[in-house]
Amino acid sequence: MATTAAGDSRPAVALAGVGRAYGERVALREISFTLARGATVAVFGANGAGKTTLLRILAGLLRPHAGSAHVLGAELPREAYRARGRTGLLGHDPMLYRDLTVRENLRFHARLHRVDQGRADALVAQVGLSARADDPVRTLSRGMTQRAAICRAVLHAPELLLLDEPLANLDPGGAAAVEPLIGRGAGPARVLISHAAERGLAEADHVLGLRGGRQVLWAPAAQVGLADVQGLYA
Amino acid sequence: MRSTVAALIRKDLRLELRSFESVPAMLMFSVSTFVLFHFGLDRGALAGDLAAGVLWVTLLLAAVLGMNRLFVAEHEQGGFDGFLMAPVDRTALFVAKALVLFCYLVAVELVAVPAFVVLLLAPGAGQALPELLAVLVLADAGIAVVGTLIGALGVQTRARDLIVPLIALPLLVPVVIAAAEASAPLFAQAGADPFPGRWLLVLALYDAVFGLLAYAVFDYLLEE
């Protein structure tokens, strides 16, 4: 199981003027916010606004090109090794090997994270995948693959969850099954990318709005209306 | 690190057993090439330098197929991201992939070398099996080390199928030279000539130098 930093008062995320470019194209510029432990920020923005780039920087998979970024007290990228195994990423890609079964995938990740193998089986049962746990991932529906990917993301009990449209492809039953794992009461701090404004606002403590890679909104969720969020997509 | 390497190897071998994407292709390529040489050279049988050259060039080109696919599952199915986010020594991926490529080469040679003997080798040549095994092991180790390094580099480019052979083949020229020089006396028609052990030393030195080099730089290849 990943080591948890119990009593660590440093914020889950602290960004100051973070920027990132792909060659000549600037994907993110001057992003600054602080997210407390256990809190949730909902990130809104149209396609290409920089949401996925932000998530990958926080996951330690992309280097910030400007500003300073701290995740769980570790400065990125210099101390990225300290945050490894303490963040969980659920992106567009399920990060599961298609020719391995759900159980084999989760047990493989459990070994990488030094998590008890029983945890993988328990999660599979919790999300209602026991009957398909020994089927290759390539044979699963998108919804089932998403459930398996959620199990993979929370397998090591991360302190920070990075969620990109976590309920995509899930039916109401599936959404209810994964709620205790990635929902508001799950425990870890969450960075939640969503295009569902109403649901995103209900889930969040803070709202981050991005447009063209720039931070155009940072406010407590209670002070943000649906119209504000919809304006980000205009 | 040992448990991480073991987990990665188990995963890769399981994927290969399910998909059969690498070893069968490498094997088919080797045997097809031997058949082409059999007819193309228009000779009843090969011996000495020529036999060694045909064997090693064929095995090297077959190995390139394996290098090309070594990191495809990691790249296309999120394996790199999953690995990079785990609290493990990144060098474990290099060690595991090199061992997996080594296993692929051994599996291919278990069939390809006997096929070479049947299709191309002159009667009476190739009597010194233990010495040939030593050459195969040392050459495979060099190919696996360099192939893993170049495979990791190539998979991050759009022209993977072009980049890998373009970089790997020149780097592996010393392996072909040393392996062919060491094998040629073993394929002499009048029975095995004295074994030039110095070429085994060259292979071992190559393995050690490139092993250390790859160990040192692999971490940086995984960075975006």
- Judged by CB atoms closer than 8 Å, whether chains meet at B7 and A112 is answered as yes
Please provide the average confidence, as pLDDT, over all residues in chain A. 92
- Among candidate residues A66, A61, A82, the one with its CA nearest the CA of residue A10: A82
Residue with the bigger pLDDT between B48 and A112: it is A112
- List phi, psi (to 5°) of B22: -110, -60
User: Is the CB of residue A98 less than 8 Å away from at least one CB of chain B?
Assistant: yes
Model confidence at A2, pLDDT cuts 50, 70, 90, reads very low
| Mean pLDDT along residues A67-90 | 93
Residues of A in contact with B73 (CB under 8 A): 97, 99
Supply the ipTM of this predicted assembly.
0.87
What does pTM read for this prediction? Answer: 0.90
Q: What SS3 class is residue B44?
A: coil
Per-residue pLDDT, averaged over A51-68, amounts to 95
3-state DSSP assignment of residue A167:
coil
Dig out the tokens for A153 from the structure.
């993301």
Integer angstrom CA distances of residue B222 from A102, A105, B34, B219:
26, 21, 37, 5
Band (B159; pLDDT cuts 50, 70, 90): confident
* Integer-rounded Cα radius of gyration of chain B: 18
Looking at residue A50, the DSSP 8-state letter turns out to be: S
* Inter-chain touch B224–A63, beta carbons under 8 Å: yes
Query: What residue of A is the nearest CA neighbor of B75?
Result: A95
Within 10 angstroms of residue B23's Cβ, the number of other Cβ atoms is 21
The reply to whether residue B81 touches residue A93, judged by beta carbons under 8 angstroms, is yes
Inspect the interface and report whether the beta carbons of A96 and B18 lie closer than 8 Å: no
Residue A85, min C-alpha distance to chain B (Å)? 5
Average pLDDT over residues B145-169: 90
| Interface touch B78/A96, C-beta < 8 Å | yes
CB A95 within 8 A of CB A89: yes
B220, pLDDT greater than 50: yes
**Per-residue confidence band for B125, with pLDDT thresholds at 50, 70 and 90:** low
Confidence of residue A219 (pLDDT cuts 50, 70, 90): very high
- The pLDDT score that the predictor gives to residue B102 is 97
Instruction: Return d(Cα A19, Cα A217) in angstroms, integer.
Output: 16
Chain A residue numbers with beta carbons less than 8 Å from the beta carbon of B71 are none
Residue B58: pLDDT band (50, 70, 90) is very high
Tell whether A97 lies on the interface with B, counting CB pairs under 8 A. yes
Higher pLDDT, B128 or A207: A207
Of B14, B88, B224, the CB nearest to A112: B88
Interface check for A111 against chain B (CB to CB < 8 A): the answer is yes
Instruction: Give residue B129's pLDDT.
Output: 77
Average pLDDT, integer, range B198-222: 92
